[in-house]
Chains A and B, each alone.
Chain A
């Protein structure tokens, strides 16, 4: 089911700022395991599973993805564009895109062929403004479908690789959303006392903007932030966390040390594999916003190892998602039976 969910949801667009269009997919998968859905003012999806006590636990994973936005329509039906979130322009060359205009249309991002590109020019770093989307229409035709501000994404069907590994666009952070789904499924089985808020936040890629609002609205006792982390590839140091070895647990000032310790203990107790990373300051995750929400929210950050972040071939191991989802369910179960104040007390 995890694979089906990810193949489904990664094929749709949730570009930051435009997450309101495809929410039905989330509903379809989360509804069976939760009691209610509420969308907050900025559009984050909050699925609540009611508990029996007053405690509120927020799980947060961002649903938004990086994307492209049309800035100008040129002669010949070419489109200039900018990015929504951080993209390496080099990863866009020779890609197919879907343009979400009045209707969805197909386009490609090509580059000038070598014979009109000097050796020097080819070595120069590409900038977004050097790239164009080719729509195949005339300017007049495309103006009827596309406007300044229309968004586009790289068109990429999810690919099943060997074993339990898959490759797709937007696994940052649909992998985190998938963890929430796994936890929801698990908690439905073993029941829970706390109220659980599975929150698919918006606009993380443009500065954790959704998490500010949804954190304020939910006002949770603790938050578990689910993200993706840099999974080891040949161009990274040998100690980097690898795929298939469990969630990456973060240490640093943004995370509550005792809550983090408790999670690690539970992983050990139940034999869930895990890995560590150290993030002393800025994390670039929803924890940035949630930790300083209202009076403050103790957070932990768990990341699914992912290769080739912010490209259209992001790669994860489904086993990591499953393990993390289950470990969180266990963690919540243990918290339900302990004195949270005591755990959080400094």
Chain B
């Protein structure tokens, strides 16, 4: 059964790249009764261990989400900003944003002259206040904000912000709670700063140095009119990544995941993403090289305030993670 409450909490929790404190606490509370060991490394990765004497297996999902960082505050209550992670100016106009302190703003644009192209520098956040003191007190350079959007679900699908990659976190939390009986030494790591360059995964991979690493992250789909040409679709099951810009899945890992899916009757599909990357990209070139792969959740409308995924795909992903842990 899909735990909508948990997903809603994860999605709504504030945690842009580099500011993962809240989400780390939320996840820690969820899993603290199930872990053998919980540590936080210098970058802020949350490392949850289920001990064993066998092979060292690493699962990762990133906690951070995309957002904006304030680069200038004027007294009239207009904020200038830069992006944290992959966001494009043309997709931001009119969006509502929310800060850590719960205050909000809306993204507006300056007048454009002579067919001038819309760029980030032409956008600003209006915080809806004419009170200079209020602005000064509540908004500072370096503050971050994220999309404001409401969680919504239908019978089979979920729409929410930061599904990238809170749905990965959801899957790992579920896997930790249902950790199978195994000799394997399993590390479930909730990484930081994936959206700004796979940074958390890099140090986690190095310090844990596992025999096998699998990242759980979202992937795009080719089943909507948005023009992305790929074979992955919502409801098609767990996506086993073949390639993206950061990794070509190790052939043995691909074969292993395929074998496990077939053996356990887990619905799966192969994924080739012609852009983007995941934590596995940073992990697999660590030290002497770490055989790595990715289990992806097909997700439409990525990096927007309304990312859409299918609940049954999530179930298949969880089954595959548990099978791999074993």
Q: Which residues of A contact B (CB under 8 A)?
A: 16-18, 20, 40-44, 69, 71-72, 80, 82, 84, 129, 147-149, 203, 206, 209-210, 212-214, 216-217, 289
Contact = CB atoms under 8 A, between A and B. Distances in A.
Of listed B222, B242, B251, B271, residue having the most chain A CB within 10 A: B242
Interface stretch (B81-89, B177-185, B286-294, B308-316): B286-294
B250 interface: yes
Interface of B: 222, 229-231, 242-243, 247-251, 254, 269-272, 274, 284-291
A200 to B, nearest CB: 14
A160 B248 CA distance: 34
Contacts of A71: 229-231, 272, 274
Nearest to B229: A129
A72 B274 CA distance: 13
A47 to B, nearest CB: 17
B291 to A, nearest CB: 6
Nearest to A16: B248
B248 A206 contact: yes
Contacts of A17: 243, 248-249, 251
A216 B289 contact: yes
B288 A149 contact: no
For the complex of A and B, list the 5 residue pairs with the smallest distance between their C-beta atoms, beginning with the closest.
A213-B289, A17-B248, A41-B289, A149-B242, A42-B289
Contacts of B242: 69, 148-149
Contacts of A206: 248
Given A147-B270, A148-B242, A72 B288 contact: no
A84 B243 contact: yes
Contacts of B290: 41
Given A72-B229, A206-B248, A209-B284, 15 more contacts: A17-B251, A18-B251, A41-B288, A41-B290, A42-B250, A42-B284, A71-B229, A71-B230, A71-B231, A72-B230, A148-B271, A149-B272, A212-B285, A214-B289, A217-B289
A69 B270 contact: no
A72 B251 CA distance: 20
Contacts of A214: 289
Residue with the greatest number of chain A CB neighbours at <10 A, chosen from B231, B288, B290: B288
A96 to B, nearest CB: 23
Nearest to A213: B289
Contacts of B248: 16-18, 84, 203, 206
Interface centre among B269, B271, B285 (most CB of A within 10 A): B285
Contacts, number: 72
19 contacts: A17-B249, A18-B251, A40-B288, A41-B291, A42-B250, A42-B284, A42-B291, A43-B250, A71-B230, A72-B222, A80-B229, A82-B272, A82-B274, A148-B231, A148-B242, A148-B271, A148-B272, A209-B247, A209-B284
A151 to B, nearest CB: 9
Contacts of B251: 17-18, 20, 43
Nearest to B227: A129
B243 A213 contact: no
Nearest to B232: A148
A116 to B, nearest CB: 21
Given A17-B251, A71-B229, A72-B222, A149 B289 contact: no
Contacts of B247: 209
B289 A148 contact: no
Give the interface centre of A71, A84, A203, A206 by most chain B CB atoms within 10 Å: A71
A21 to B, nearest CB: 9
B285 to A, nearest CB: 4
B288 A216 contact: yes
B243 A69 contact: yes
Contact of A69 (B229, B272, B286, B291): B272
A22 to B, nearest CB: 13
Nearest to A129: B229
A129 B288 CA distance: 36
Nearest to B240: A149
A276 to B, nearest CB: 31
A80 B291 CA distance: 28
A20 B255 CA distance: 13
Nearest to A294: B287
B247 to A, nearest CB: 8
B228 to A, nearest CB: 10
Nearest to B242: A149
A129 B272 CA distance: 14
Contact of A216 (B269, B271, B287, B291): B287
A69 B285 CA distance: 22
Nearest to B290: A41
A209 B288 CA distance: 11
Contacts of A212: 285-286, 289
Contacts of A216: 287-289
Nearest to A42: B289
A210 B269 CA distance: 27
Nearest to B291: A41
A131 B242 CA distance: 21
A20 B242 CA distance: 15
Contact of B287 (A80, A84, A213): A213
B243 A209 contact: no
Contacts of A44: 289
Nearest to B289: A213
A299 B285 CA distance: 19
Contacts of B270: 147-149
B253 to A, nearest CB: 11
A346 to B, nearest CB: 27
A40 B319 CA distance: 30
A299 B1 CA distance: 56
Contacts of A69: 242-243, 272
A214 B284 CA distance: 12
A213 B287 CA distance: 6
Contacts of B243: 17, 69, 84, 149
B281 to A, nearest CB: 9
